[in-house]
């Protein structure tokens, strides 16, 4: 019964958050300067002509009527058509979502692959040579923003060395190798900042965990260093990192907008930029909603993972 | 008789086409042609800065100059202006003729079909032009068609009647009214047509990811065989000028469309040839003449004298030429008054006189500047600094994204804004500065300018038309209706495998059907 109540409460929270996301998605676009009709109507158009354009786009209805119509349709994944390209918004989102997801998931995987072993080792040997070198490198890396790192990597690998393509995209259907050639730099660019953050958080927690009694006890029992580090110390040291991971996903959704713009990748971020420029509110609303839902779901998964990692949470339930 | 009149109507365009030449004003080999026989097959990649908005023929695909080529590749174009002679000639249509400049006859070619095998005929033209005239389509040509009527006289003939004599009507048919989509496909597909267009042009749209890339493949049903020569053309969108140049250098692109003289010189030194042409009015500042204080010519003249075009060009556009006249000298129009040079003392005097005359204590100017381009933003800051040198003039910089700025311009809700008088035909002046111009969003109105620009439509004597453009430009210059600061070139810079590069005539766009590659 307690579990059901907890699940219902969490679900209720998620629904409220999603509803707030729909409000923001819809009314933010209403608030930005630059009216859609002003953009579309040819200079010198008469009032009647402007009214006809407005009617054809359904913009002559009240804002609340439009919001509830949009919300109703959005529940069945019908976001209408782009006022700019006339493409079905749901189609555009479905086409581009996998690209953004791949960049974010790839960046996350790379970040974890680098951050976990290095964070564990630096926590094991704080102040050692590796820890100091990593400290210097991560300090430098965290100081370079994504919008600068992307062009720098492009210059080195695409312009100077010419081992990777400059910009653009090839789908998986063009071959895995060809696809990955286009994805390497965007993923590395997005992963850089997150790797540093995860590494530092994990290192700090690792240092503290390795001073705990149960670790000293494990040492006295003669367990190997690797087993102590990865079998006993890593799990309790991961809570802060996992919390940061949830936040990281949000940052990556934002970061993907920048990365997709730099590398001209056909993802949701690039779609959002293009659509904002043309006040294509149908498209922007859908992108914000989908990004919001993704963020909420990922954070739900992060919350669920706490229970898996910490037996105390399971027993309290 | 009829054909002669068409040729005459195109004669004034010859002025515009004189602008095709080397960036130094020379007329070198600009065809990008090795002189060999065109080879069939192969693919080509072009990089440019902006994409098509939608594949709607009624809105010219919502494309700027750089997207025009793709739109024309899919839909063809009813007419074209010959890049050598400037005369309008039939392309997808056979001819457009008139005896009086008011009643026109558009004659279609026999046997031309859309890629869905339906006829490209008079009914198709009427269907498409009806869409343009429907306000719901939101076509930029809507206002240009006011008072014009058209009907299909038979399968191959469209009779058109204009509200007044306009010998430059072929210019409209070469640009805003040029693209015709399959009516059958539009009826069947509805809004899906605009992402799956069906035209009768040399290429078919194979794939399009808006803002990223598009791929066009050869149409097997194109009427003008053996053209097109290429199997496919891929257009990639890279907004950054330097990155596009790098794409050409690394071999990822074959043609780079750009607007910067410095990049042109760099690439030229590295062995990349270019096809280039000039914007008729270059880049400058458009001023709201409908609202105070810039409705007063003295204030506009003061701004022109204090803007500091030379320092702007030197700092922001190395290698570019300062715009000395409102119409680019390459157009060969004689008798043009020079634009205001820097004269801070004279500018201050005009402001002081204005303040005395109106009893005001200061002049407040807002520069409405887009943030979509880093260089335009810098230009805004530069202009703010230069204009702020004037006493009792407060200059505010309002930074806006592209959509907000476009909306402000369209609604005459701006004061001074960077603007390029793009296009290749001086008829753009009629659009922008005639009091009834289709795109007169600056609110400028001057009977002298109206009379001169009316003459550019009502006369088919090239000498009279040239003089009329000169007269209109001179009044606009003295009135400081527009402050040009830079001559602007459009470059199509290409590598050694590209051949058959030819401008379309009325636009800066490259003709897709003539391109071929040598591998």
Task: Mean pLDDT check: name the lowest of A53-62, B203-212, B259-268.
Answer: A53-62
Q: Per-residue pLDDT for B27 more than 50?
A: no
For residue B237, list chain A residues with Cβ-Cβ distance below 8 A.
Answer: 264
For residue A84, list chain B residues with Cβ-Cβ distance below 8 A.
Answer: 53-54, 62
Encode pLDDT of B381-435 as tens digits: 999 999 999 999 999 999 988 778 888 888 788 999 999 887 778 998 999 999 9
By Cβ distance, the residue of A39, A52, A274 closest to B136 is A52
Dihedral angle at the C-alpha atoms of B5, B6, B12, B13, nearest 10 degrees?
-170
Most distant CA pair in chain B, distance: 72
Residue B503 DSSP SS3 = strand
Q: A225-229, B419-423, B456-460: which has the highest mean pLDDT?
A: B456-460
Do B102 and B161 form a contact (C-beta atoms < 8 A)? yes
Q: How many CB atoms lie within 10 A of CB B347?
A: 24
Q: Which two tokens stand for residue B234?
A: 């891929």
Contact assignment for A43 to B410 by CB distance below 8 Å: yes
Q: What pLDDT, on the 0 to 100 scale, is given for residue B505? A: 63
Do B184 and B128 form a contact (C-beta atoms < 8 A)? no
Contact assignment for A34 to B407 by CB distance below 8 Å: yes
With an 8 Å Cβ cutoff, is B400 touching chain A?
A: yes
Residue A8's pLDDT band (cuts 50, 70, 90)? confident
Encode pLDDT of A179-217 as tens digits: 999 999 999 999 988 899 999 999 999 999 988 888 888
**Nearest-CA distance from A215 to chain B in Å?**
53
Three-class SS string for B22-71?
CCCCCCCCCCCCCCCCCCCCCEEEEEECCCCCCCCHHHHHHCCHHHHHHH
| Claim: this prediction has a pTM higher than 0.90 | no
Degrees to nearest 5, angle at CA B286 with B282 and B288: 165
Those of residues 118-137 in B touching chain A at CB distance below 8 A are: 134-136
Mean pLDDT of A247-257: 81
Handedness of CA B421, B422, B427, B430 (dihedral sign): negative
Dihedral angle at the C-alpha atoms of B323, B326, B330, B334, nearest 10 degrees?
-130
Q: What pLDDT, on the 0 to 100 scale, is given for residue A314? A: 58
Task: Please give the helix or strand (H or E) that residue A283 lies within, else none.
Answer: helix A281-309
Task: Mean pLDDT check: name the lowest of A152-161, A273-282, B213-222.
Answer: A273-282
Most distant CA pair in chain A, distance: 87
Q: Which residues pair with B203 in a beta bridge?
A: B218
Which residue does chain B place closest to A167, by CA atoms? B238
Residue B272's pLDDT band (cuts 50, 70, 90)? very high
Task: Mean pLDDT check: name the lowest of A25-39, B98-112, B239-253, B340-354.
Answer: A25-39
Contact assignment for A264 to B402 by CB distance below 8 Å: no
With an 8 Å Cβ cutoff, is A271 touching chain B?
A: yes
Q: What pLDDT, on the 0 to 100 scale, is given for residue B26? A: 29
With an 8 Å Cβ cutoff, is A229 touching chain B?
A: no
Q: What pLDDT, on the 0 to 100 scale, is given for residue A34? A: 65
For residue A283, list chain B residues with Cβ-Cβ distance below 8 A.
Answer: none
Prediction ipTM score: 0.81
Contact assignment for A85 to B53 by CB distance below 8 Å: yes
Which phi and psi angles does A113 have, rounded to 5°? Answer: -60, -35
Mean residue pLDDT across chain A: 86
Those of residues 167-186 in A touching chain B at CB distance below 8 A are: 167-169
Contact assignment for A43 to B252 by CB distance below 8 Å: no
Do B460 and B417 form a contact (C-beta atoms < 8 A)? no
Which phi and psi angles does A62 have, rounded to 5°? Answer: -65, 155
Dist CA A286 CA A293 (whole Å): 10
């Amino acid at each position: 019964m307690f579990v059901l109540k907890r699940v219902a409460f969490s679900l209720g929270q998620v629904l409220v958050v999603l509803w707030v996301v729909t409000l923001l998605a819809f009314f933010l676009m209403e608030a930005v300067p630059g009216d859609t009709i002003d953009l579309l109507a040819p200079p010198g158009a008469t009032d009647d002509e402007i009214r006809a354009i407005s009617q054809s786009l359904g913009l002559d209805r009240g804002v609340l009527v439009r919001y509830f119509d949009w919300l109703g349709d959005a529940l069945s994944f019908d976001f209408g058509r782009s006022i700019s390209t006339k493409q079905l918004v749901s189609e555009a989102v479905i086409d581009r979502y996998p690209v953004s997801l791949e960049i974010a998931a790839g960046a996350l995987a790379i970040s974890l692959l680098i951050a976990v072993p290095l964070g564990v080792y630096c926590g094991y040997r704080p102040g050692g040579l590796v820890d100091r070198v990593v400290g210097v490198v991560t300090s430098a890396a965290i100081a370079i923003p994504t919008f600068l790192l992307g062009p720098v990597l492009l210059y080195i690998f695409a312009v100077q060395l010419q081992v990777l393509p400059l910009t653009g995209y090839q789908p998986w259907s063009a071959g895995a190798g060809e696809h990955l050639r286009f994805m390497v730099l965007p993923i590395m660019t997005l992963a850089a900042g997150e790797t540093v953050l995860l590494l530092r958080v994990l290192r700090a927690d690792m240092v503290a965990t390795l001073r705990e009694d149960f670790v000293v006890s494990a040492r006295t029992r003669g367990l190997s260093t690797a087993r102590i580090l990865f079998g006993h110390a890593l799990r309790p040291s991961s809570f802060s990192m996992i919390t940061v991971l949830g936040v990281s996903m949000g940052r990556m959704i934002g970061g993907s907008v920048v990365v997709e713009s730099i590398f001209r990748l056909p993802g949701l971020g690039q779609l959002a930029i293009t659509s904002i420029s043309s006040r294509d509110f149908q498209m922007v609303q859908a992108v914000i909603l989908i990004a919001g839902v993704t963020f909420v779901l990922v954070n739900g998964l992060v919350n669920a993972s706490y229970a898996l990692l910490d037996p105390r949470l399971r027993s309290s339930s | 008789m009829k054909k002669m009149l068409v040729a005459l109507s195109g004669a004034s365009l010859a002025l515009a086409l004189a602008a095709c030449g080397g960036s130094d004003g020379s007329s070198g080999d600009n065809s990008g042609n090795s002189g060999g026989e065109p080879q069939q097959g192969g693919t080509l990649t072009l990089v440019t800065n902006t994409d098509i908005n939608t594949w709607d023929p009624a809105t010219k695909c919502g494309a700027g100059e750089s997207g025009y080529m793709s739109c024309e590749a899919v839909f063809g174009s009813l007419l074209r202006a010959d890049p050598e002679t400037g005369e309008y000639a039939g392309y997808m249509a056979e001819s457009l003729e008139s005896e009086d400049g008011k009643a026109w006859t558009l004659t279609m070619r026999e046997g031309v079909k859309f890629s869905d095998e339906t006829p490209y005929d008079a009914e198709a033209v009427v269907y498409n032009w009806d869409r343009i005239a429907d306000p719901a389509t939101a076509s930029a040509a809507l206002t240009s068609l006011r008072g014009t009527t058209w009907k299909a006289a038979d399968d191959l003939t469209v009779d058109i009647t204009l509200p007044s004599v306009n010998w430059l009507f072929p210019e409209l048919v070469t640009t805003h009214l040029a693209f015709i989509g399959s009516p059958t496909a539009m009826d069947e597909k509805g809004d899906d047509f605009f992402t799956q267009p069906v035209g009768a042009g040399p290429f078919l749209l194979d794939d399009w990811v808006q803002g990223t890339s598009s791929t066009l493949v050869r149409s097997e049903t194109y009427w003008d065989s053996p053209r097109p020569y290429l199997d496919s053309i891929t257009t990639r969108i890279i907004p950054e000028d330097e990155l596009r140049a790098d794409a050409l250098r690394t071999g990822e692109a074959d043609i780079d469309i750009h607007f910067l003289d410095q990049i042109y010189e760099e690439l030229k030194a590295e062995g990349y040839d270019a096809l280039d042409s000039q914007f008729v009015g270059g880049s400058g500042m458009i001023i709201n003449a409908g609202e105070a204080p810039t409705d007063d010519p003295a204030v506009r003249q003061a701004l022109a004298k204090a803007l500091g075009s030379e320092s702007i060009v030197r700092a922001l556009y190395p290698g570019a030429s300062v715009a000395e006249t409102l119409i680019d000298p390459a157009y060969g129009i004689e008798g043009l008054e020079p634009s205001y040079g820097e004269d801070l003392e004279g500018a201050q005097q005009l402001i002081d006189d204005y303040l005395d005359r109106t009893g005001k204590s200061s002049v407040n100017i807002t520069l409405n500047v887009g943030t979509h381009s880093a260089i335009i933003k810098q230009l805004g800051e530069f202009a703010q600094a230069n204009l702020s040198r004037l006493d009792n003039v407060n200059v505010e910089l309002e930074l806006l994204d592209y959509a907000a700025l476009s909306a402000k311009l369209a609604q005459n809700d701006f004061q001074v804004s960077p603007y390029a008088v793009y296009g290749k035909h001086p008829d753009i002046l009629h659009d922008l500065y005639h009091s009834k111009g289709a795109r007169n969003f600056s609110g400028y109105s001057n009977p002298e300018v109206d009379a001169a620009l009316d003459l550019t439509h009502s006369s088919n004597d090239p000498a009279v038309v040239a003089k009329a453009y000169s007269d209109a430009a001179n009044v606009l210059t003295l009135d400081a209706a527009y402050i040009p600061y830079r001559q602007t070139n459009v470059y199509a810079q290409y590598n050694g495998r590209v051949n058959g590069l030819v401008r379309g005539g009325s636009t800066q766009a490259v003709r897709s059907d003539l391109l071929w590659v040598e591998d």
